[in-house]
Amino acid sequence: QIQVGDAKIPIITFQYGPDSDGLATVSSAEEEYLPIIKSSPKDYPEARISPSKLTQTVDTDGESWGIMSQFKTRINIKGKPAMDILGSAIHTYLGIDYAELEEVEQMTVARKIIKNWGMDTIVDPEEVVLAGQHLVEFLEKNYPGHKTYKEWPMSMRNQDGQVMQGWIDLLLETEAGYVIIDHKDYPGQDAIERAKKYTPQLKAYKEAVETATGRPVIDIIIHLPVSGLFLKLF
């Protein structure tokens, strides 16, 4: 017998061996205790997702991207490189504490990083260093006294039970709240239109930071070092 709560269900067991003539059959008059199985499988969302892979439309509450600041310099790209590799090279330099180095040291580090990524014939280290200096200038002008957290990890479970994990390129802590800055290597002229693609990713970062800290994210910014642009979600 199998007992489930107060119910006792009688069962019959069979043992089969090499000399068994056949399988025992169950009369259709006997009760069968089987779960009801749906004929079609259910689709479940992915267990883990990267914020950078989010593409669904999000409610922007009337927000739009606009130019917050613009430097009259660009990182000139020679040839047609793999933009993801070029972006990784520039990200690597912007991710180190280059502001603590002398300009000569910045040049040395930038040259090594660009060469290690195989981009030494594609961009000039001088222009990458200048982009980094412009970023420092932008931060000091707009967020004086901020604390800087580079490549800051984030993790959050969303309303669908999915775990979102990623890295915030640059997170600033100010007296008023946090600022999220994301570096993008996009070189095109339609940067504002392109920024819409990244809104879901940056909104996920915002939700994670505000949920974890209980403090507001006051600005969301896209930094385009190749174009010398800083876009803000207004």
pLDDT tens track, the chain, 234 positions:
899 888 899 888 877 777 777 666 656 566 666 667 677 777 888 899 999 888 755 555 678 999 999 998 999 999 999 999 999 999 999 999 999 999 999 999 999 999 999 999 999 999 999 999 999 999 999 999 999 999 999 999 988 889 999 999 999 999 999 999 999 999 989 999 999 999 999 999 999 999 999 999 999 999 999 999 999 999
Residue 82's CB is within 10 A of a number of other CB atoms, namely: 12
Which tokens belong to 215?
């403090």
Polymer length in residues for the chain = 234
Cβ contact 223:185 at 8 Å? no
Residue 56 DSSP code: S
- Give the torsion sign (CA, 205, 211, 215, 216): positive
